[in-house]
Structure 1
């Protein structure tokens, strides 16, 4: 039963981490929506990239921890984090901005 208890605790921790990730991402998206560039790194602006770097690093670290917990539980990777990472980076000239 010890293994079952450990997995149950890990699953509860995973749920908490996913909730914290969503809250952090929503906070970052609100800042972006208010006009602060850099979260998605769509522009070649070093200042915007540097300003957003701590938030991106925090989200990436959180996403990696969640993925590790999900792997231990036999679950698929955290889709929200994968979508965030996929949305970052250079885009075509006709793409919608941040």
Structure 2
């Protein structure tokens, strides 16, 4: 019974952290969509600001915490975090800018959650 209670607490923590992650990512995407670069790291160190570095660091740390909880529960890694990490980094010169990329992410997340 103690193991079941422990797993239930871990799962509740996972759900709370995933909700926090999504909210933090949406807030960061909204800021980026307004023209602030750095979230996706398209320009490397040149495009970093202290705020973008802090935001990315917080998202990565929270994503890793979620993945650890999911691993404990025998679940797949957190897909939203994996997608975000995969979307970061330098891109070709003809790729869309970070603000447009952020707008596309916001539209996708709204569609997935069913909100308008």
CA drift of 1:92 comes to: 1.1
Equivalent positions of 1:8-19 (< 5 A) are 8-19=8-19
CA-to-partner distance for each residue in 1:77-97, whole Å, 9 max, x for gaps? 000000000000011122111
Confirm whether residue 66 of structure 1 aligns to residue 43 of structure 2: no
Give ranges in structure 2 of 5+ residues lacking alignment.
99-116
Q: TM-score, normalised on structure 1?
A: 0.94
CA drift of 1:45 comes to: 5.2
Structure 2 vs 1, CA of residues 74 and 44 (structure 1 numbering), >3 Å: closer, same or farther?
closer
Structure 2 CA distance for aligned equivalents of residues 29 and 54 of structure 1: 14
Structure 1 CA distance for aligned equivalents of residues 44 and 60 of structure 2: 20
CA drift of 1:50 comes to: 3.1
Q: Please tell me the root mean square deviation across aligned C-alpha atoms, in Å.
A: 1.0
CA drift of 1:35 comes to: 0.5
Number of residue pairs matched? 97
Helix, strand or coil: the match of 1:75? coil
Moved over 3 A (4+): none
Structure 2 CA distance for aligned equivalents of residues 89 and 95 of structure 1: 12
CA-to-partner distance for each residue in 1:13-38, whole Å, 9 max, x for gaps? 10000000000000000000010000
Give ranges in structure 1 of 5+ residues lacking alignment.
none
Equivalent positions of 1:40-51 (< 5 A) are 40-44=40-44, 46=46, 48-51=47-50
